[in-house]
Amino acid sequence: MSCAIQCKNLTKKFHNRIAVNDLTLSIKKGSIYGFLGPNGSGKSTTIRMLCGLLVPTSGSGTVLGFDVTKESESIKQRIGYMSQKFSLYEDLTVEENLQFYAGVYGIAGRELKQRKADLIEMAGLTGREKQLAGSLSGGWKQRLALSCALLHRPELLILDEPTAGVDPVSRRIFWDVIHDLARQGITILVTTHYMDEAETCDEIGFIFFGNLLTHGTPKSLISEMNADNLEDVFITLVQQQEAAQAELGQKVGRK
């Protein structure tokens, strides 16, 4: 099995607080991996370590074969990253945003012209090239941000809550694009709170306050937990964890 991401016992502490605890996982090349968990569970922190933006406190990991602690520059060149707050320049047009990111990645000339045309078409932004990014609706902004993240033809795309606050039609269009990209062989790691999106991932991992509770295909998780759907799996896992924490709290209180 060829893996795009592998990490072992990856841990991040902020002061004395553990944000990510002993995370071990592997993500197959060309697959879509959905990372689920309540807010504050450590999803973005994990992503930032995998992108080489944050140094792990302990543990190890490789992304596209490069070490997350020692080869972060090589990782950054090969991945596309869309952060929770996508980094568009609102006072630049659609085309100028693409041009700006092309400059960052060192893409110019004929290659830039072709890439821009392909990505504008992929994002359905044809005819909006001269429109200011700030005046686009949430769905268009999101697809422009995705186009910017794809300019340098990354092998791995990391998307942190790309569809938060976006209308259902735009979410559907966005996910059609994501599935197309996966069919082209691009690996995708995506965080989401939407279970309809998670159900279309090849594999998903549930993280709860720093701990990866379970992972597998959506079908296998639903059947293992004897649940009707992923939402039930998610709610059951969270309730189990909350009950375990409450019990622990009572024990500590009794001591």
Ligand X SMILES: Nc1ncnc2c1ncn2[C@@H]1O[C@H](COP(=O)(O)OP(=O)(O)O)[C@@H](O)[C@H]1O
Contact residues toward ligand X (CB under 6 A) are 14, 19, 37, 39-45
Q: In what order do the strands lie in the sheet with 79-82?
A: 79-82, 156-160, 187-191, 32-36, 203-208, 211-216
CB 10 to ligand X: min, Å: 12
Residue 42 binding partner per list Mg ion, ligand X, none, with a CB distance cut-off of 5 to 8 Å that depends on partner kind: ligand X
Residue 64 binding partner per list Mg ion, ligand X, none, with a CB distance cut-off of 5 to 8 Å that depends on partner kind: none
Contact 102/151 with Cβ under 8 angstroms? yes
Contact 208/244 with Cβ under 8 angstroms? no
* β-bridge pairing 3-14 and 58-63: antiparallel
Residue 103 binding partner per list ligand X, Mg ion, none, with a CB distance cut-off of 5 to 8 Å that depends on partner kind: none
Of the chain, the end-to-end C-alpha distance in Å amounts to 49
> CA 61, 67, 70: angle at the middle one, nearest 5?
125
- Closer CB to ligand X, 39 or 226, in the complex: 39
Residue 14 binding partner per list ligand X, Mg ion, none, with a CB distance cut-off of 5 to 8 Å that depends on partner kind: ligand X
Residue 41 binding partner per list ligand X, Mg ion, none, with a CB distance cut-off of 5 to 8 Å that depends on partner kind: ligand X
- Closer CB to ligand X, 8 or 14, in the complex: 14
CB 83 to ligand X: min, Å: 11
> What are 167's two structure tokens?
């209308």
CB 45 to ligand X: min, Å: 3
CB 140: neighbour CB atoms within 10 A?
20
- Closer CB to ligand X, 92 or 213, in the complex: 213
- Closer CB to Mg ion, 45 or 62, in the complex: 45
CB 209 to ligand X: min, Å: 8
- Closer CB to Mg ion, 44 or 147, in the complex: 44
> What are 35's two structure tokens?
């990372």
Q: Cα separation of 40 and 42, whole Å? A: 6
Q: In what order do the strands lie in the sheet with 3-14?
A: 17-28, 3-14, 58-63, 66-67
CB 46 to ligand X: min, Å: 7
Q: Which residues pair with 211 in a beta bridge?
A: 208
Q: Cα separation of 81 and 83, whole Å? A: 6
Q: Cα separation of 116 and 100, whole Å? A: 11
CB 238 to ligand X: min, Å: 13
- Closer CB to ligand X, 7 or 136, in the complex: 7
